[in-house]
Amino acid sequence: MAQLQRIAIALDQLQQNQIWLTAQQQHYLSRVLRLQKGDRFIAMDGIGKWWLAQLEGKEAQILETLTVETELPISITLMVALPKNGFDEVVRCCTELGVACIAPVMSDRTLLNPSPQKLERWQRIASEAAEQSERSFVPTILEPVSFEAGLSSFATNHKYICEGRGNYPHLKKCLQQTGQTTILIATGPEGGWTEKEIDNAIQAGFQPVSLGRRILRAVTAPIVALSLISACEV
Ligand code: SAM
C-alpha cells in the first residue's frame, strides 16, 4: 500500500461506497498525480478511517476499508505561544511527530497578530502533513486565544510548561511516570515567558520543565518536546 497516493476527504463526500470528489481533488488526482480512470489511491477522513479507492472520473469507488496503526498511544496537545516566524514549520513537524491538537496562544511577549486566514492555512498544512506521514488523524488546530484563557482550557493531570532558564526537571524525567495517556505541553515565544506567566501556569497545575541546557529557538522547542514525548512510544 506504500506507493499509493493519499488524499483527505470530508465525511459529506461519502455516499455508500462512492466518494464524490471536489473539483480541486479531481484536478489533483488527474492532473497533478496523473492518475487514470481505474487507478487506485487512498482516501482518509482525518478522523481515523482510511479506504482503498478507485478513480472513476468525478467520483471514486471504495474498494475496501484499511487498517492503519500509525497514531501515538498518547494524546498530546501542544500549546504554543505564536512565534513571529516559522509557525508553519511547527505545525508541519509536530503533525508528523503525532500531535493530536495544536492550541496557538498569544502570550505577553508574542509579537505576531495572526490574520483569520492563518487558521485555514495551518489546517491545510496539518492535513497535508498527516497525509504525508500516513497518519489516520489530522490534528485539530484551535483558534488562537490568550495564554491566560489557554491555561484553563484543557483537562488533563499531565501539564508541562517548557522553560529554558531555572533549575527545572528535564521533560524526559517527568515522562518516566507511568500511566500518562494525555499530555498538555506549552512552549514560549522568542522572548520567552514572563515570570508572571510561569507563576500563573504553576497555579493552573503546570510543571515547568527543561528541554536541556541549550536555549532552543521558539520554533525548535515544540519539535524537541514532541520528539521526546513520541519517543516514549517505543
Ligand atoms: N528569550 C528567552 C531566554 O533568553 O530565556 C528564550 C526563549 S526561547 C527562544 C523560546 C521558548 O522555547 C521558551 O519560552 C521555552 O518555552 C522554550 N525553550 C527553549 N529552550 C528551552 C530549554 N532548554 N528548555 C525548556 N524550554 C526551552
What CA dihedral angle connects 227, 229, 233 and 234, to 10 degrees? Answer: 60
Establish whether residue 205 lines the binding site of ligand 1, counting it when its CB lies within 6 angstroms of any ligand atom.
Answer: no
Domain boundary among 66, 87, 103: 66
How confident is the model at residue 174, as a pLDDT?
92
How confident is the model at residue 163, as a pLDDT?
98
Q: Does residue 1 form part of some domain?
A: no
**pLDDT in 10s for each residue of the chain, 234 residues:** 557 888 889 989 999 899 999 999 999 999 999 999 999 999 988 888 889 999 998 999 999 999 888 899 899 999 999 999 999 999 999 999 999 999 999 999 998 788 888 999 999 999 999 999 999 899 999 999 999 999 999 888 899 999 999 999 999 999 987 677 899 999 999 999 999 999 999 999 999 999 999 999 999 999 999 999 999 865
How confident is the model at residue 224, as a pLDDT?
98
How confident is the model at residue 178, as a pLDDT?
65
For the chain, give me the number of helices (H) and strands (E)? 7, 13
pTM to 2 decimal places: 0.85
Establish whether residue 220 lines the binding site of ligand 1, counting it when its CB lies within 6 angstroms of any ligand atom.
Answer: no
Say yes or no: 142 and 163 in one domain.
yes
Say yes or no: 199 and 100 in one domain.
yes
* Residue 17, domain CATH: 2.40.240.20
Q: Which ligand 1 atom is nearest residue 215's CA? A: 20
How confident is the model at residue 68, as a pLDDT?
82
d(CA 69, CA 56): 28
Strand order in the sheet with 59-66: 6-8, 40-44, 50-55, 59-66, 18-20, 14-15
Backbone angles phi, psi at 11, to 5 degrees: -60, -30
Report the number of distinct structural domains present in the chain.
Answer: 2
Establish whether residue 210 lines the binding site of ligand 1, counting it when its CB lies within 6 angstroms of any ligand atom.
Answer: yes
* Residue 100, domain CATH: 3.40.1280.10
Q: Which ligand 1 atom is nearest residue 214's CA? A: 23
Residue whose C-alpha cell reads 514525548 in the numeric block: 229
Q: Which ligand 1 atom is nearest residue 217's CA? A: 9
Ligand 1, atom 2, residue with closest C-alpha: 192
How confident is the model at residue 233, as a pLDDT?
65
Check: CB of residue 77 under 8 Å from CB of residue 154: yes
Mutate to test the pocket of ligand 1, among 187, 195, 198, 220 (most ligand atoms within 8 A of CB): 187
Establish whether residue 187 lines the binding site of ligand 1, counting it when its CB lies within 6 angstroms of any ligand atom.
Answer: yes
Say yes or no: 158 and 54 in one domain.
no
Check: CB of residue 143 under 8 Å from CB of residue 119: yes
CB hemisphere CA count around 177 (13 angstroms): 12
175 Cα–ligand 1 center, Å: 19
Say yes or no: 176 and 115 in one domain.
yes
188 Cα–ligand 1 center, Å: 6
How confident is the model at residue 234, as a pLDDT?
56
Establish whether residue 197 lines the binding site of ligand 1, counting it when its CB lies within 6 angstroms of any ligand atom.
Answer: no
Check: CB of residue 100 under 8 Å from CB of residue 226: no
d(CA 24, CA 19): 14
How confident is the model at residue 30, as a pLDDT?
93
Structural domain of 11: 6-66
d(CA 84, CA 180): 32
Establish whether residue 192 lines the binding site of ligand 1, counting it when its CB lies within 6 angstroms of any ligand atom.
Answer: yes
Domain boundary among 35, 66, 97: 66
Say yes or no: 84 and 163 in one domain.
yes
Residue whose C-alpha cell reads 501556569 in the numeric block: 201
Say yes or no: 38 and 102 in one domain.
no
Ligand 1, atom 6, residue with closest C-alpha: 192
Say yes or no: 193 and 126 in one domain.
yes
Establish whether residue 86 lines the binding site of ligand 1, counting it when its CB lies within 6 angstroms of any ligand atom.
Answer: no
